[in-house]
Structure 1
């Protein structure tokens, strides 16, 4: 049996002392397919590695010694609305792997070039399905639907697919193909935002129409290449610094829980940490989530329980002001789990989910 070697990589970012370690990375020198590597990382750590910036890339390349290493980036079909593509209704031999947008014709789905111009179906929160008899490419159709309705249509099950087929037949006598809200794009395994890109020249090229997973390559300084997910390579797992605890506790109870079981309630001292909070807070089951943020009536200021002053701020309008001094109840800080995910002031007796830091 192949021996597994573990190389913990502590990524030291250029930041304040309180935030130097954002993730802990582990290089696993055992060859697996992308799916096998993902399963391994999720069982033993958090997930296959997410690479958010150049610092992550530089640190990873200092510690790996294989030509190609899996990271947690995969090309997947997803809905414009943000819903996962759990139900699929592809026509025979579709998708063929060459194109990134989906259209519907005769009740079945095909992949097509996003630059093609077709009619399309929007969804409106109050009106339901809306047939748009204007020819647009997929991106323009998406923009139109978002500006004038809600989004391009999402199909979540067989019943919705049959309803959509009937609606199209009733609205589109020509029988033309129509865009739906399904498209394919790169996505991190842990659902982090796909904002940082570090592809090698002419990559991704999807050679053969089957290259749906990403590796970092040593001979091009850690730039990414797309490759078939069935290949076997070593890989990098990560452990997040932050963890959402889906228990509803008061702020003081949450603080005690984090300090007993992890390190502390999270302090958010930079845009980078706020972005990481935004990545994990979507796992919460309450509308707001406790942070390690507290208001001192004696000093009249907000402070972090780690002992730091609040320099970086991300307050929602009307929150975090001097008016807190007039509140009769003790106030603590939380982050909204939806919407703009800004900070809000809440009575410390409210019972919310919370975010712990797992290492210092």
Structure 2
């Protein structure tokens, strides 16, 4: 095949994909529940690669299912919206018997394989069984041929981070975030921290960055300035220790991927956020 015909074939292929994706009908799952993500069920049949391309173009990616709680949330929403039984693409790829990876790069730790699966002798992609009136197989996974046509679920991260590589004191950074965004970044879970670290790695910031937590001089504990509950903490050694009549602020150490107690008068880059 010459280069001109090869280019023509590639253009025709991409054009076909765009035509297919443009025709997808989107059905938003009514109750999202998760504080970090929204889920979107796309009730159109396509292969895994096209599903991934659509999710990445319009949302974040094909859905990653990190634990039983998230699986139940997705299934409950499908049932509430009265969707028909189906095999649904999820973001699991490169399955070679027991191995696999998530499309977004998260570590593959939680598994919910159907009995006897995965059993495909070829590298395959992940789909989820949805059966409204069945308990044994509802939500279990199968390793499917990636070219099969199935409906799929996308997800979108609710909170968008904005790094500012202009060192400021914590108070100045806090004021800047409130004036230009929704506020200074908070971290509500390990998965949200994973997304923040991934984003910061792409911004080429390699040092400590301010986040929106400080200590209370009255009560001697840590709190988020936007009133998010403190549901997750990831301190370096004993950095979390504070006492009454003292005030410290929190930075995220990008080398250690942990939080550090820091003098609020020091200067550092910082991270703001907006809620989608």
Give 1:1-360 correspondences, 5 Å limit. 2=23, 4-12=25-33, 21-62=35-76, 63=78, 64-75=83-94, 185-207=99-121, 209-210=122-123, 212-219=124-131, 220-249=137-166, 250=168, 251-252=170-171, 254-256=173-175, 259=178, 263-268=182-187, 273-284=189-200, 285-297=205-217, 300-307=220-227, 310=230, 313-322=233-242, 331-339=248-256, 341-348=257-264, 349-354=266-271, 356=273, 358=275
Contact 2:219 2:244 survives alignment (8 Å): no
Once residues 262 and 31 of structure 1 are traced to their aligned partners in structure 2, the CA distance between those partners, rounded to angstroms, is: 38
Distance of 1:48 and 1:260 partners within structure 2: 34
Decide which moves more: 254-263 or 1-10: 254-263
Distance 2:227 2:215 in 1: 12
SS of the aligned residue for 2:90 comes to strand
Q: Whose radius of gyration is greater, 1 or 2?
A: 1
* Cα pair distance change 1:347/1:275, threshold 3 Å: same
Indicate the SS of the match to 2:56: helix
Partners of 1:190 and 1:354 in 2: CA distance? 22
Q: What is the distance in 1 between the residues matched to 2:57 and 2:172?
A: 29
Give yes or no for contact 1:266–1:356 (8 Å, CA) kept in 2: yes
Alignment coverage as a number of residue pairs = 238
Q: TM-score, normalised by structure 1?
A: 0.57
Question: Structure 2 CA distance, aligned partners of 1:51 and 1:194?
Answer: 9
Could you tell me how far apart the structure 1 residues matched to 2:28 and 2:37 are? 14
Contact 2:161–2:274 (CA under 8 A) maintained in structure 1:
no
What is aligned with 1:113?
A: none
Higher strand share: 1
CA, structure 1 residues 301+188, in 2 after alignment: closer, same or farther (shift >3 Å)?
same
Work out the CA distance in 2 between the residues paired with 1:242 and 1:66.
31
Task: Supply the distance in 1 between the matched residues of 2:47 and 2:231 (Cα, whole angstroms).
Answer: 44
User: Cα distance, 1:214 vs. partner?
Assistant: 0.4
Deviation track 1:83-107 (CA, whole Å, cap 9, x = no partner) reads: xxxxxxxxxxxxxxx789xxxxxxx
- Mapped to 1, the partners of 2:255 and 2:146 lie a distance apart of 33
- Matched with 1:182 is none
Any idea what the Cα deviations from partners look like across 1:100-127, whole Å, max 9, x if unmatched? Answer: 9xxxxxxxxxxxxxxxxxxxxxxxxxxx
TM-score by length of 2: 0.72
- 1:253 offset after TM fit, Å? 5.6
Distance 1:232 1:24, change over 3 A: same
Q: Is the 8 A contact 1:242 1:266 kept in 2?
A: no
Aligned Cα root-mean-square deviation (Å): 3.1
- Over 3 Å counting, the alpha-carbon distance change for 1:314 and 1:203 in structure 2 is same
Any unmatched runs of 5+ in structure 2?
1-21, 132-136
Which runs of 5 or more residues in structure 1 are unaligned?
A: 14-20, 77-97, 101-184
By how many angstroms is 1:324 displaced?
9.6
